[in-house]
A and B are shown apart, each in its own frame.
Chain A
Amino acid sequence: MKCKTCPGKAVIDMRRHNAAFCKDCFITHIERQVERTIESDKMLSKDDRVLVAVSGGKDSLTLWEVLRRLGYDTTGFHIVLGIDHYSPQARGTAEAYAAKHGLPLIATDVKEEYDFSIPELAQYTRRVPCSACGLSKRYLMNRTALEGGFSVLATGHNLDDAAATLLGNLLHWQTPQLGRMGPALEATHPKLAKTVKPLIRLTERETLAYAMLRGIDYHDDECPNAVGATSLFYKDLLNQLEHASPGAKQSFYFGFLKKGRPAFLAAQTGGVELKECEACGQTTTTETCAYCRMMDLARRTAAARSR
């Protein structure tokens, strides 16, 4: 196959764009696409102090790499989850990247700072690990962004992640979530950080190719808890659709944002009021936030068991 933009030999085909690119043209294409996404959705400006969520995987390091190359002021944020052999390796990868490029990295070890690893938290609160993990990550990212004086939080969610989340929300008719989906969410409360997803127009296959072609040393071990995750099943289904009909994921997700989301948002008028958690001050719709309730339950269960 030939490159679409130069006489070189292609290394990757992108059926949804009806194109194939050589290494250099692919890298340029990806970086331009992220840049355009940031501009068209008004995600970031060069004055922003950006906190980048970095797991150490291909998506988060691709995000950091592109933002770094585009000249944004970035600080990495890594959460040490305490999951078997997976977490130490993930942390090592994030730290190595930061050191290599002389970028600041904040690492928060949930076991050290909040007493429980993710597996312990899941066990003590009878949640599935990904639920305890997700709640902790969202809470810690927001809190770290606010307390560190960052104006925006950037995450490495790609098109596959977004389309899988959308499919899950539709299958369960999660109407409030459907109204709130989107690649750039403005801070609607002083205690909420603005969050952006600059990789939203890239498929997971494209971020993988970018990470490989840029020679990024990413962490590619799978978390043991991901095995059998519903989101993986949804991604697989969507890729079957994509194979039969190139561009399907893109039109599913971006079509929803344009034509579906406004209706869900409008249906929510007079919705819930955000308050500040009595225990920690972060936003919640109840007296105490979901994170503090989860932590409280974990502490009580742990205390009861040690008696």
Chain B
Amino acid sequence: MKVIIRRPRREVEMPGSRRVRDLLQELKINPESVLVVRGDELLTPDELVKDEETVEVVPAISGGSAHEV
């Protein structure tokens, strides 16, 4: 499967299928700070991603010190 990660943008190839929970763990990404999407579908941690699929890890955390406004 292909995993697209942003900031900095990079692509990771992972052989085989795995659950969202496991792929985040392998990539050492904290699930609290991201959402994982397949196309425009949001995926829960138990969702299985198949070998031929592409998912994107979208960072939820943004901002400098006075950034939100």
Binding site for B on A (CB under 8 A): 1, 10-13, 20, 23, 53, 55, 57-60, 79, 129-131, 133-134, 137-138, 141, 155-158, 160-161, 203-205, 207-209, 212-213, 220, 222-223, 225-226, 229-232, 235-236, 239-240, 242-243
Assess the B44–A60 pair: CB atoms within 8 A: no
Q: List CB contacts (< 8 Å) of B26-69 with chain A.
A: 30-35, 37, 40-46, 58, 60-69
Closest Cβ of chain A: how far from B48's Cβ, in Å?
12
Assess the A55–B69 pair: CB atoms within 8 A: yes
The range of chain B's interface size is 20 to 34
Assess the A208–B35 pair: CB atoms within 8 A: yes
**Which of B40, B43, B45, B67: most chain A CB closer than 10 A?**
B67
Assess the A235–B44 pair: CB atoms within 8 A: no
Task: Give the residue of B61, B65, B69 whose beta carbon is less than 8 angstroms from that of A130.
Answer: B65
Supposing A208-B58, A209-B42 touch, asked if A134 and B33 sit within 8 A by C-beta, the answer is no
**A contact face: mostly helix, strand, loop, or mixed:** helix
Binding site for A on B (CB under 8 A): 7, 30-35, 37, 40-46, 58, 60-69
Residues in B whose Cβ lies below 8 Å from that of A60:
68-69
Assess the A161–B68 pair: CB atoms within 8 A: yes
Assess the B32–A239 pair: CB atoms within 8 A: yes
Assess the A212–B62 pair: CB atoms within 8 A: no
Closest Cβ of chain A: how far from B63's Cβ, in Å?
6
A18 to B45, CA, bound (A): 14
- Give the top 10 A-B pairs by smallest Cβ distance, nearest first: A134-B66, A53-B69, A130-B64, A205-B60, A11-B42, A239-B32, A226-B64, A229-B64, A1-B44, A208-B60
Assess the B67–A226 pair: CB atoms within 8 A: yes
Residues in B whose Cβ lies below 8 Å from that of A226:
62-64, 67
Assess the B65–A239 pair: CB atoms within 8 A: no
